[in-house]
Amino acid sequence: MADLEGLKVAKDYHVETPFANQNGFYLKGANSLDWGMKKHMSNIFNPKSGNTVMFAFDHGYFMGSAAGLERLDLLIPQLAPYVDCFMGTRGAIRTCVAPELTKSVALRVTSGSSMLQDDLSHEVVAVDIEDAIRMNADCMAVQTFIGAKGQLSSIDNLSQVINAGMRYSIPTLGVCAVGKEMERTDRFFKLATRIIAEMGCQIVKTYDCENFEEVVAACPVPIVVAGGKKLPEKEALELAYDVIRKGAHGVDMGRNIFQSQYPIEMAKAVNKIVHEGMTAKEAWEFFEDETH
């Protein structure tokens, strides 16, 4: 095991230098993937902007009908025009996402936590690869707890899913979990996102933090950013703008869309930032025009 104690070299993330090994395909770290993987990645990440708006509604797998997700059947069709990818459980997707919606799917495949528990870090792989194939999933999302009690089992889950995904050319989305007891520093996110990417995930989901551009620079696959707890809409748009400006390839936003009084308009405004290069200020003005 390498010893960190003698480490003296100053860190240099070369944040201004684009990812180098990208000849032939538009997505970071996807150069050597086969056709099937690239096709799924292209379904998720718009080839023109290189980015994605994922709508995360997988909260039910540990929170039940979290506030704002009581009627997915009503919400999903309204949001569909403004998002690129639906991220949810197989139960929610099969029942509430019409197959006619030609949007990509990020299928949540791990489970085992509930908000009634203190420690959420022990999960299992709950969906097998055959069902992910049947659902035409574009990627499989695995909750990954680095530095928590359940780290070993979540690394085991992640490895199983990546191995199965490699057999059938389905990308894996490693979701960097932040439990109550876990730090939310750039030190933590640099460690966790890099571990997840080096395990072999094709996409990493994480959170915004200080020096976020360094987290992105050191992660060799595309990063999508969770919205986190509900913020005032203006701040949520600033968050989206900030992470895209610093190199994220999209957002995977849940509560800041579905808990807004104006979820459709929020999704539209986020889409303008992610795909059309709007600044936070422009997107906020757009949102205000749409809602007044």
Active site residues: 205
Closest to ligand 5RP by CB, 190 vs 255, is 255
Contact call for residues 223 and 29 (beta carbons, < 8 A) = no
Displacement of CA 55 from its chain's centroid (Å): 9
Closest to ligand 5RP by CB, 68 vs 165, is 68
**AA identity, residue 168:** Y
How many Cα neighbours within 13 Å face the side chain of 277?
Answer: 3
Q: Angle 263-276/233-245 helices, nearest 10 degrees? A: 20
Closest to ligand 5RP by CB, 33 vs 105, is 105
Q: How far apart are CA 221 and CA 196, in angstroms?
A: 10
Q: How near is the Cβ of 18 to ligand 5RP at its closest, in Å?
A: 27
Q: How far apart are CA 177 and CA 186, in angstroms?
A: 14
56: contact with ligand 5RP by CB under 6 A = yes
Please give the residues from 70 up to 129 whose contact with ligand 5RP meets the rule CB under 6 A.
Answer: 87
Helix (H, G, I), strand (E, B) or coil at 67: coil
Spell out the residues 6+ positions from residue 35 whose beta carbon is closer than 8 angstroms to its own.
Answer: 169
Greatest C-alpha distance within the chain: 59
Q: Which of 5-13, 38-46, 223-231, 268-276 is the region at the interface with ligand 5RP (rule: CB under 6 A)? A: 223-231
Closest to ligand 5RP by CB, 33 vs 236, is 236
Tokens of 75: 């919400």
Q: How near is the Cβ of 67 to ligand 5RP at its closest, in Å?
A: 11
Choice from 161, 170, 203, 226 touching ligand 5RP (CB under 6 A): 226
The 239-268 site mask, x for binding ligand 5RP (CB under 6 A), equals -------------xxxxx------------
How many Cα neighbours within 13 Å face the side chain of 276?
Answer: 12
In the complex, which residue's CB is closest to ligand 5RP? 254
Strand partners, 205: 175, 224
Please give the residues from 9 up to 38 whose contact with ligand 5RP meets the rule CB under 6 A.
Answer: none
Q: How far apart are CA 260 and CA 188, in angstroms?
A: 29
Choice from 112, 165, 222, 227 touching ligand 5RP (CB under 6 A): 227
Closest to ligand 5RP by CB, 38 vs 112, is 112
Please give the residues from 142 up to 201 whose contact with ligand 5RP meets the rule CB under 6 A.
Answer: 143, 175
Q: Which of 190-198, 226-234, 267-275, 282-290 is the region at the interface with ligand 5RP (rule: CB under 6 A)? A: 226-234
Please state the three-class secondary structure of 166-196 as a single string. HHHCCCEEEEECCCCCCCCCHHHHHHHHHHH
Helix (H, G, I), strand (E, B) or coil at 54: strand
* Total of chain residues touching ligand 5RP, rule CB under 6 A: 13
Binding site for ligand 5RP (CB under 6 A): 56, 58, 87, 143, 175, 226-228, 252-256
